[in-house]
Amino acid sequence: MGLFERYLTVWVGLGILAGVGLGLVMPGVFQAVAAMEVAQVNLVVAVFIWIMIYPMMIQIDWHAVKDVGKKPQGLMLTLVVNWLIKPFTMAALGVLFFQYIFAGWVDPQSASEYIAGMILLGVAPCTAMVFVWSQLVKGDANYTLVQVSVNDLIMVVAFAPIAAFLLGVTDVTVPWETLLLSTVLYVVLPLLAGMATRQMLVKRSPQALGQFVARLKPWSVVGLIATVVLLFGFQAGTIVEQPGVIALIAVPLILQSYGIFFIGWWGAKLLKLPHDIAGPACLIGTSNFFELAVAVAISLFGLNSGAALATVVGVLVEVPVMLSLVAIVNAWKPRST
């Protein structure tokens, strides 16, 4: 492991502090960057996510992708956890904490909105960042691509009805622009770029591919840290103004993340999945598609609603939590592999 990878948690921690500090000192700059978005997708963040996932996209071998269907257990685990377990455990935890455990600290209206925001996070499994987590646990890049792609297809038909059912509303309008733009920006375009780069490098020499990916790896970490700085800089004012509320929302979100991970990990062990498939399968269900969740929360409840705040807190807790889970996956890797 290189210097960046070995001390990744330290760099991310410094990125969080830098983001909050810079967001307070230069709020105008971060507001200007935050405004550079299309359909709730921030274009600057999209660039940094590209930098993160591009190295993994280069490693995808289309000859191996065709063989993924011969090992469907990992796909089934991903879909069961994401769509039959995660949305309902998130709703249950929201109700448990904000209608009972934290009831004395929040008013009923705010509590219901926090629960709604948590539900929207639970019904929006991650797309882009999964490639980063998979790369950090040395996951099977080909299998991860198929897991993400199948998951996105399910999301097109399952997101609205499950969200409507759990929210108790008659109609949830899917922000198709956000969903489609995110998929194109975070999956389709970097995948095409990776395919073109891989083909060019393989033609050059057998060693060229590995050497190029090795040179890109530090930049992938730089992209992750830059994303963290931006995300925390965008919300610096909220973090300082409402630390208590953010802490309350973070508790069930963190419990949900670890709970879903361990459910997935237990399922992977039961199915005897290889480590490079089990790791990404567990991490896909744990992280969230926050652009989609934020967009729906704003459209249903308003920009300054508790639901929108809860989805933002989901963004803030995700990276530190996911890095800890990456560390767990790597620590549990069989010695023989």
**Alpha-carbon distance 296 to 299, whole Å?**
5
Query: What letter does residue 174 receive in the DSSP assignment?
Result: -
What does the pLDDT look like over 263-273, one tens digit per residue? 999 999 999 99
Residue 33 has a pLDDT of 92
C-alpha torsion sign, points 330, 189, 120, 277: negative
Q: Which residues contact 30 (CB under 8 A, 6 or more apart)?
A: 22, 23, 230, 233, 234, 236
Contact 19, 226 (CB under 8 A): no
What does the pLDDT look like over 64-109, one tens digit per residue? 677 777 788 988 999 999 999 999 999 999 999 999 999 999 999 9
Residue 172 has a pLDDT of 65
> What tokens were used for 21?
């500090």
What does the pLDDT look like over 172-231, one tens digit per residue? 667 788 878 888 888 788 888 988 998 899 888 878 888 888 888 778 888 888 988 998
> How high does pLDDT run on average in the chain?
87
Q: Coil, strand, or helix at residue 85?
A: helix
Short-list 202, 316, 301, 302, CA closest to 251: 316
Helices 27-34 and 8-25: crossing angle in degrees, nearest 10, is 110
> What tokens were used for 258?
């670890």
Helix and strand counts by DSSP (H, E) for the chain: 18, 2
Residue 21 has a pLDDT of 95
Query: How much is the pTM?
Result: 0.85
Short-list 260, 232, 243, CA closest to 92: 260
Residue 190 has a pLDDT of 86
Domains plus CATH for the chain? Answer: 61-216+239-331 (1.20.1530.20)
Label residues 237-257 b or e (16+ Cβ within 10 Å = b). ebbeeeeebbebbbebbeebb
What does the pLDDT look like over 2-49, one tens digit per residue? 555 666 778 888 999 999 999 999 999 999 998 998 878 888 988 888
**Alpha-carbon distance 203 to 125, whole Å?**
37
Residue 1 has a pLDDT of 47
Helices 208-234 and 306-331: crossing angle in degrees, nearest 10, is 150
56-60, 62-66, 95-99, 122-126, range with the lowest pLDDT: 62-66
Q: Judge whether residue 294 has pLDDT over 60.
A: yes
Position of tokens 């039959």?
84
Bridge partners (DSSP) of residue 289 are none
Q: Judge whether residue 119 has pLDDT over 70.
A: yes
Residue 245 has a pLDDT of 92
Share of the chain above pLDDT 70, in %: 94
pLDDT band, very low/low/confident/very high, at 335 (cuts 50, 70, 90) = low
